[in-house]
Amino acid sequence: MALRQCLKRERLTGRLPFNASTQFTYMLYSLTPFLVHWGITALSLWVASHIFAGIKFTDTSSLIVSALLLGFANAIVKPLLIILTLPLTFLTFGLFLVVLNALMILLVSSLVDGFKVSSFWTAFFASIFITVLSFVIGSFVIAGDQSQVIQMPHSGIWL
């Protein structure tokens, strides 16, 4: 069965056929957006390290690990911080989210040995730059790709 037919069937029924090769293809198809976002984050961090003097990577592996950890920090830690700092975020009309982005960069730099950020203000302005650059690159790379459209399940079954 072709991948498009499987995806169409999955949208209608909420289930995929139990074919091992189809399941593997679907898994790789679902992994592609993650790899694209990881690459965009790594590229944005690399460009930021050349623009901002206070951001340094010792080698390529530290850049790749930093991009991966930054993605995980933004997916797991940042939502918790947003909830905890919601009153302050409302008070500053959302501008405190830039501070949270800077804190995520500082957190990743403290976890990865080969990634150094000199100060909070470097992380602050770099986070603005990385966000804008990631958005611009992502709009060119992901534009028109229908795999990026997130659809809610119709049957009410989430898993």
**What are 8-46's pLDDT values in tens digits?**
555 555 555 556 566 667 667 777 888 888 999 999 999
DSSP symbols for 77-102: IHHHHHHHTHHHHHHTTTTHHHHHHH
- Give residue 11's Cα distance to chain centre: 25
Q: Average of pLDDT values for 63-86? A: 93
Q: Average of pLDDT values for 117-131? A: 96
> Rounded to an integer, what distance in angstroms lies between the CA atom of residue 57 and that of residue 49?
7
pTM, two decimals, is 0.73
Q: What DSSP designation does 116 have?
A: E
* Residue 14: predicted pLDDT: 54
Domain boundaries, the chain: 37-56+72-134
Which of these, 157, 149, 115, 158, lies nearest to 7 by C-alpha position? 149
Is residue 60 classed exposed, middle or buried when 0-12, 13-18 and 19+ CB atoms within 10 A define those classes? exposed
Provide the angle, in degrees to the nearest 10, between the axes of the packed helices 120-142 and 20-51.
Answer: 130
